[in-house]
């Protein structure tokens, strides 16, 4: 099957050809016809399956045949859980609509709201947004939904995990009831089905991979190592295997910053990306990772599903996640679109229970590799240069002097204003 058999118009086919895509992935082959037929859709698909194009392409086809958006209106709303994912989806929309007279924009927090309000003034055909910023814009009358035709919830399970359920309910109340609803999620958990009951109407259900399954194209390995030796082992693995690009996951923001400093001290170009970083810093780090100027990107789980890097060869679990499902989402960054990838996990004694939980979830015992020889002091940070503490010296108290008699102050006349 090729894209040309799905009823897509010439501009979209040209955009796909320009990107090197000729045949749809399984999720695209099932979702595109259903969405083009105007049906509500519930789709379970892991990251890397091409699901973004699976809903973007048919939406573009539908919008091209309708009237353009009016002032402050949005004809399609795509909700995503993170800024990174919002930016990635918006980039895909712009890429595939290149030869079409359709407008789109993206809004998220962490940046000034006024430029976003300006972009919405003339209305947009497709609005990609994170829930919090969208509510802010609506409350300021910067966006309206009278012309809304399609609602997409992308990474719906992640939105629930991040506590956006109340924001989603608020948004659903302000949308017109007559619309097409598309829900995309990595899994169909009970919480997702509960959300879907109040959202989709007689949906077409699509599932292209078993729940919580890792992609078969990803080779998974484990190194058992003491916690304190993890930085040194990671540095050795990067050197031994000549990793030119690796995504490394940590549990905490502080841990991400510390590991980044250790990698830089060992001579690697590294950057951290997490919730405490400004949007500008996050965008710069991701852009550097994509263009190769950043060799190692250290991330927390907030970025696990928002990163889309073509043919990413290595993912490293520097620390195992507390939630086993997040392991699947992390390693889903590699082995995408038919390419192969490798997922390495550095597991300390304290993390053995987490490893067993992951193995039960994916129904697979992970291979434990022998530790390579490495310098256990290799990645230690150099001591910070702190100013030496000087002994405090008391200044001699000056002898009291008789205060001089105060002279009366002379006030200058105020200058005359020019007429």
pLDDT digits (tens, 9 = 90+) for 3-53: 989 999 999 999 999 988 989 999 999 999 999 999 999 998 776 678 899
CATH (domain of 320): 3.40.50.300
Report residue 14 as tokens.
């040209």
CB atoms within 10 A of CB 67: 9
| Average pLDDT along the chain | 86
Domain boundary among 207, 240, 256: 207
161 plus 222 within the same structural domain: no
Q: Please report whether residue 400 resides in a domain.
A: no
State the pLDDT confidence band at 120, using cuts at 50, 70 and 90: very high
Query: Does the structure show a pLDDT above 50 at 419?
Result: no
200 plus 225 within the same structural domain: no
- Residue 374: φ, ψ to 5°: -150, 155
59 plus 132 within the same structural domain: yes
Per-residue confidence (pLDDT) for residue 212, from 0 to 100: 61
Q: Mind giving me the DSSP string for 24-75?
A: --HHHHHHHHHHHTT--EEEE--TTS-HHHHHHHHHHHHHHTSPPP-TTBEE
What mean pLDDT comes out for the span 54-82?
95
What mean pLDDT comes out for the span 325-339?
77
State the pLDDT confidence band at 198, using cuts at 50, 70 and 90: confident
Question: CA torsion 326→327→328→329, rounded to 10°?
Answer: 50
pLDDT tens per residue across span 144-154: 999 999 999 99
169 plus 316 within the same structural domain: no
Query: Does the structure show a pLDDT above 60 at 398?
Result: no
Domain boundary among 155, 186, 207: 207
Number of domains in the chain: 2
Domain boundary among 180, 207, 234: 207
Q: Please report whether residue 131 resides in a domain.
A: yes
Range of the domain at 9: 3-207
Per-residue confidence (pLDDT) for residue 8, from 0 to 100: 94
State the pLDDT confidence band at 388, using cuts at 50, 70 and 90: very low
241 plus 331 within the same structural domain: yes
Query: Does the structure show a pLDDT above 80 at 414?
Result: no
155 backbone φψ class: left, alpha, beta (φ>0; ψ -120 to 50): left
198 plus 289 within the same structural domain: no
Q: Please report whether residue 373 resides in a domain.
A: no
Element housing 154 (H / E): none
Q: Please report whether residue 376 resides in a domain.
A: no
Most confident segment among 137-141, 204-208, 214-218, 286-290: 137-141
282 plus 133 within the same structural domain: no
Query: Does the structure show a pLDDT above 70 at 410?
Result: no
% of the chain with per-residue pLDDT over 90? 58
């Amino acid at each position: 099957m090729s894209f040309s058999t799905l009823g897509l118009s010439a501009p979209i086919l040209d955009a796909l050809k320009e990107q090197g895509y000729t045949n749809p992935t399984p999720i695209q082959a099932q979702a595109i016809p259903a969405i083009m037929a105007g049906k509500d859709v519930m789709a379970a698909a892991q990251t890397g399956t091409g699901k973004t194009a699976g809903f973007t392409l048919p939406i573009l086809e539908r919008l091209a045949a309708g009237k353009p958006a009016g002032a402050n209106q949005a004809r399609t709303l795509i909700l995503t859980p993170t800024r990174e994912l919002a930016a990635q989806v918006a980039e895909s929309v712009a890429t595939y609509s290149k030869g079409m007279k359709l407008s789109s924009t993206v809004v998220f927090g962490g940046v000034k709201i006024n430029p976003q309000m300006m972009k919405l003034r003339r209305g947009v055909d497709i609005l990609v947004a994170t829930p919090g910023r969208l509510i802010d814009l609506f409350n300021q009358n910067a966006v309206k939904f009278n012309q809304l035709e399609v609602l997409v919830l992308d990474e719906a399970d992640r939105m629930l995990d991040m506590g956006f359920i109340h924001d989603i309910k608020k948004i659903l109340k302000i949308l017109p009831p007559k619309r097409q609803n598309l829900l995309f999620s990595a899994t169909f958990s009970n919480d997702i089905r509960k959300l879907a009951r109040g959202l989709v109407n007689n949906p077409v259900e699509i599932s292209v991979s078993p729940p919580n399954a890792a992609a078969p194209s990803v080779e998974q390995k484990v190194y058992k190592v003491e916690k304190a030796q993890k930085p040194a082992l990671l540095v050795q693995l990067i050197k031994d295997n000549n990793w030119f690009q690796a995504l490394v996951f940590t549990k905490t923001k502080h841990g991400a910053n510390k590991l980044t400093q250790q990698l830089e001290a060992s001579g690697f170009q590294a950057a951290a990306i997490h919730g405490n970083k400004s949007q500008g810093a996050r965008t710069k780090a991701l852009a550097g990772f994509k263009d190769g100027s950043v060799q190692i990107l250290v991330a927390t789980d907030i970025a696990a599903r928002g990163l889309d890097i073509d043919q990413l060869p290595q993912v490293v679990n520097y620390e195992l996640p507390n939630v086993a499902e997040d392991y699947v989402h992390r390693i889903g960054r590699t082995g995408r679109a038919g390419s192969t990838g490798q997922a390495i996990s550095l597991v300390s004694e304290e993390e053995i229970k987490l490893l067993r939980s992951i193995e039960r979830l994916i129904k697979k015992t992970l291979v434990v590799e022998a530790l390579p020889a490495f310098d256990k002091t290799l990645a230690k940070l150099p001591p910070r240069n702190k100013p030496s503490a000087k002994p405090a010296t008391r200044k001699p108290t000056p002898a009291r002097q008789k205060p001089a008699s105060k002279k009366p102050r002379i006030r200058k006349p105020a200058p005359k204003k020019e007429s």
